[in-house]
C-alpha cells in the first residue's frame, strides 16, 4: 500500500544516531522521546535559541511571548517528564486561571469563559439566546468527537496500516457519522446554536488551525474541546517556560542541541536518508527527523528528490499580523486571553483566503500574560500581544496593510474599553508573514502549514514519515496530526513510536507512563 510503513523497512539494532532538524516544540519533544529510547540524538537549530515559533522578547521591563500563546492539554508536556522518570513540577510550574478568556461582541456583550464548566454554562445561557441544555449538549458532543478521534486520528499515523487494525479504529469507523467530516464547522455550529453570536464564537476556533470555518470540516470543532472541557493553562514565566523546561530535560538525557546551525541539505542515497549538510559539513546519521515546515524540507533541503505534491501543493493556511504593545495602563475589563469578534465573519475569512487581504471588520485576539504573571510588565502596565488573521505571502503591500489594520485595532479596542487606547501605547513591535517565513522557516509565511479547508483535508496533511525516502521522519505543525501546541506534541509521539518499531526499542515508550 502506497505510503504505509512496512515491517520489511525496519532498521533493527540498538542505539542509533538520529539527527533532528529544528528545535521547535515537536523537535524538542521528539529528541526527548528518542533519547529515552536509548538513541544518540543531535538537534540542529538555525537560531541562537531553542523553541522555533515559540520564543520571547524583552523590552523596558516588559516580557512578551512571541509565538503560540494558548496552552491546553498540559499532560502532553508532563508525559515527557514521567516518561523519563522525572517529576514535571521540578522543571515547570503550570497554573490554571479561573477566568482564562473573555469574548467581546459589537453589540457590547462580553462573555466570560470561566474555567469552571458549570459557571461557564450559566454565563452563556444567561447572556445569549442558547439555553443550558443546548450548551451542555455541545460540550458533550465535542468531548465525544475527541474521544472518537484521539487514538485513530490524533495519536497515531493515518498513513500506517497498523493504525486501522485496532479496536479504536473499528469504533471510530462505526461512529464516523458522528464526527461530521462531511459538514463544515459553521454548518455544525448552526445546527447546534440559535444565537449567531454563539455560532461566531465557536467558528473562530478554525483560526487555531489557520482555516476557514466555512470550509473546514465539522470534525475540527474538536479543537474547542481542548479549551472548554480540558481547560486553558499558563506556565509560570510564560509560554517560553515550556521550551526552557524541555531544553533542560533534553540536555539531561544527553541530547545535543547545536545552535546557529542551519541545515543546508538532507543527504540521501539509494532511497534512504543518510545525514545532513550543516555549515557546509556532511554529518551522517542513521535516521533524520525534520521539524522544519514540510514544504521547505522538500523544496529547500531535498530539491533533488520528488516532492509528494498530493500533500504539499494544497491551499496554505492563513498567516498572522501580530502587534506587541507595551501598555502604560491596566484594563480590568480584559482577561488573560481576549477575543473581539468580527460582525461579518464570513466576509472576514473570504477577504483573507480569496482576496489575500485583511478587511476592516476583523477578529482581534489579545493575550496579556501579565494578567496572570505580573512580572511580565512593570507596575500599572500590561503586555499586549495582538494577533489578526492575515493571508499568506502573495506579493501584498504589508506596510499599507499594517497601517490600516493598526488603525482598525485601535478604533475597535477603544470602543470596547470606552476610551482611546493609543496614548497608552509606550512602544510597538510588529510581526508580519515575512517575519514568520524568514525566522521560523514557515513556507509563504503560513504559520499552520496547509489549511484544513476541504472535506478530506484532515487526511491530506503530510505523513510523519516519507514513503519514498526511508529513515526520514517528520514532526511539527505542518504534518499530521496538525498545527498548535497539543498536536505538535502528538506528532513527536507518533514519530517516536515509529522509530521504536523500526529499531525494536521499547525503552522509554508510553507503556512506562504512570497509570
Predicted confidence band of residue 1 (pLDDT cuts 50, 70, 90) = very low
**What is the secondary structure of 306-350 as a DSSP string?**
PP-HHHHSSPBPPEEEEEEEEESS--TT--SEEEE--S-HHHHHH
Q: What is the pLDDT of residues 245-303, one digit of tens each?
A: 999 999 999 999 999 999 999 999 999 999 999 999 999 999 999 999 999 999 999 99
Structural domain includes residue 74: yes
Q: Is residue 436 part of a domain?
A: no
**Distance between CA 437 and CA 449 in Å, rounded?**
11
| pLDDT tens digit sequence for 155-174 | 777 666 565 556 666 565 55
202: its cell numbers: 465557536
Please report whether residue 36 resides in a domain. Answer: yes
Q: Residue 494: its pLDDT value, please? A: 95
The terminus-to-terminus CA distance of the chain in angstroms comes to: 36
- Decide: helix, strand or coil at residue 268: strand
Closest by CA to 217, choosing from 227, 209, 225, is 209
CA distance 487 to 480: 8
Domains held by the chain: number: 1
- Shortest CA distance to 182 belongs to which of 514, 515, 458, 498? 458
pTM above 0.85, yes or no: yes
Residue with cell 498540559: 74
Name the residue range of residue 475's domain.
7-54+70-90+236-312+454-512
- Tell me the C-alpha distance between 186 and 200, whole Å: 8
Q: Residue 296 carries which DSSP code?
A: H
From CA 4, how far away is CA 494, in angstroms rounded? 14
In a domain, 223, yes or no: no
Degrees, nearest 5: CA angle 85-90-94? 110
Could you give the CA distance from residue 418 to residue 427 in angstroms, rounded to a whole number? Answer: 21
Residue 175: per-residue pLDDT: 56
- CA–centroid distance for 447 within its chain: 9
| Domain-embedded: residue 275 | yes
Task: Tell me the C-alpha to C-alpha distance, in Å, between residue 365 and each of 201, 284, 351, 467.
Answer: 12, 44, 18, 39
Is 461 a domain residue? yes
Closest to 228 in 3D by CA, of 78, 124, 372: 124
181 domain residue, yes or no: no
Nine-digit cell string for 428: 510597538
Contact between 336 and 99 under an 8 Å Cβ cutoff? The reply is: yes
User: Does residue 445 contact residue 393 with C-beta atoms inside 8 Å?
Assistant: yes
pLDDT recorded at residue 248: 98
Average pLDDT over residues 382-395: 98
At 307-334, the pLDDT tens digits run 998 889 899 999 999 999 999 999 999 9
Tell me, yes or no, whether 276 lies in a domain: yes
pLDDT of residue 219: 86
Mean pLDDT value across the chain: 91
389 pairs with which residues across the strands?
320
Task: Look at residue 500 and tell me whether its pLDDT is greater than 70.
Answer: yes
Strand order through the sheet with 337-340? 110-113, 101-104, 337-340, 364-367, 382-390, 319-327, 425-431
Q: Which residue has the cell 515559533?
A: 53
461-471 core/surface letters (b: 16 or more CB in 10 A; e: else): bbbbbbbebbb
347 torsion bin: left (phi>0), alpha (psi -120 to 50), beta (else): alpha
CATH code of residue 36: 3.50.50.60
CA quadruple 27, 30, 32, 35: dihedral positive or negative? negative
Amino acid at each position: 500500500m502506497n505510503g504505509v510503513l512496512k515491517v520489511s523497512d525496519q532498521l533493527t539494532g540498538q542505539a542509533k544516531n538520529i539527527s533532528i532538524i529544528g528545535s521547535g516544540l515537536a523537535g524538542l519533544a521528539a529528541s526527548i522521546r528518542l533519547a529515552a529510547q536509548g538513541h544518540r540524538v543531535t538537534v540542529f537549530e538555525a537560531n541562537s535559541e531553542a523553541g522555533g515559533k515559540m520564543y520571547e522578547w524583552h523590552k523596558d521591563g516588559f516580557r512578551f511571548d512571541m509565538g503560540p500563546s494558548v496552552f491546553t492539554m498540559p499532560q502532553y508536556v508532563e508525559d515527557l517528564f514521567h516518561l523519563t522518570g522525572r517529576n514535571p513540577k521540578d522543571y515547570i510550574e503550570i497554573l490554571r486561571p479561573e477566568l482564562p478568556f473573555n469574548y467581546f461582541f459589537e453589540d457590547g456583550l462580553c462573555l466570560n469563559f470561566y474555567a469552571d464548566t458549570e459557571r461557564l454554562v450559566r454565563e452563556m445561557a444567561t447572556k445569549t439566546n442558547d439555553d443550558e441544555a443546548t450548551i451542555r449538549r455541545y460540550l458533550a458532543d465535542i468531548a465525544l468527537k475527541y474521544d472518537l478521534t484521539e487514538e485513530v486520528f490524533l495519536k497515531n499515523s493515518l498513513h500506517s496500516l497498523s493504525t486501522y487494525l485496532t479496536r479504536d479504529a473499528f469504533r471510530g469507523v462505526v461512529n464516523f457519522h458522528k464526527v461530521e467530516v462531511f459538514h463544515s464547522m459553521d454548518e455544525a455550529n448552526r445546527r447546534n446554536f440559535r444565537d449567531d453570536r454563539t455560532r461566531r464564537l465557536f467558528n473562530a476556533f478554525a483560526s487555531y488551525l489557520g482555516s476557514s470555518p466555512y470550509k473546514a470540516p465539522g470534525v475540527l470543532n474538536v479543537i474547542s474541546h481542548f479549551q472548554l472541557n480540558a481547560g486553558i493553562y499558563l506556565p509560570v514565566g510564560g509560554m517560553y517556560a515550556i521550551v526552557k523546561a524541555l531544553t533542560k530535560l533534553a540536555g539531561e538525557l544527553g541530547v545535543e542541541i547545536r545552535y546557529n546551525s542551519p541545515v543546508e541539505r538532507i543527504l540521501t542515497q539509494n532511497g534512504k536518508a543518510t545525514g545532513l549538510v550543516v555549515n557546509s559539513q556532511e554529518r551522517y546519521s542513521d535516521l533524520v527527523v525534520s521539524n522544519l515546515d514540510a514544504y521547505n524540507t522538500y523544496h529547500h533541503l531535498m530539491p533533488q528528490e520528488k516532492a509528494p505534491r498530493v500533500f504539499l501543493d494544497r491551499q496554505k493556511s492563513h498567516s498572522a499580523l501580530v502587534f506587541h504593545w507595551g501598555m502604560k495602563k491596566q484594563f480590568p475589563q480584559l482577561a488573560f486571553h481576549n477575543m473581539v469578534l468580527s460582525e461579518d465573519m464570513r466576509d472576514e475569512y473570504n477577504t483573507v483566503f480569496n482576496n489575500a487581504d485583511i478587511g476592516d471588520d476583523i477578529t482581534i485576539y489579545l493575550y496579556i500574560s501579565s494578567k496572570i504573571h505580573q512580572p511580565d510588565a512593570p507596575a500599572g502596565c500590561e503586555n499586549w500581544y495582538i494577533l489578526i488573521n492575515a493571508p499568506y505571502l502573495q506579493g501584498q503591500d504589508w506596510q499599507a496593510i499594517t497601517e490600516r489594520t493598526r488603525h482598525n485595532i485601535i478604533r475597535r479596542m477603544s470602543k470596547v474599553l470606552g476610551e482611546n487606547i493609543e496614548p497608552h501605547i509606550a512602544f510597538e513591535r510588529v510581526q508580519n508573514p515575512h517575519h514568520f517565513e524568514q525566522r521560523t522557516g514557515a513556507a509563504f509565511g503560513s504559520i499552520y502549514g496547509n489549511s484544513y479547508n476541504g472535506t478530506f483535508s484532515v487526511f491530506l496533511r503530510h505523513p510523519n514519515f516519507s514513503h519514498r525516502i526511508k529513515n526520514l521522519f517528520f514532526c511539527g505543525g505542518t504534518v499530521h496530526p496538525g498545527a498548535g501546541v497539543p498536536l505538535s506534541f502528538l506528532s513527536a509521539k507518533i514519530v517516536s513510536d515509529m522509530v521504536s518499531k523500526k529499531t525494536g526499542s521499547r525503552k522509554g515508550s508510553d507503556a512506562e507512563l504512570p497509570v
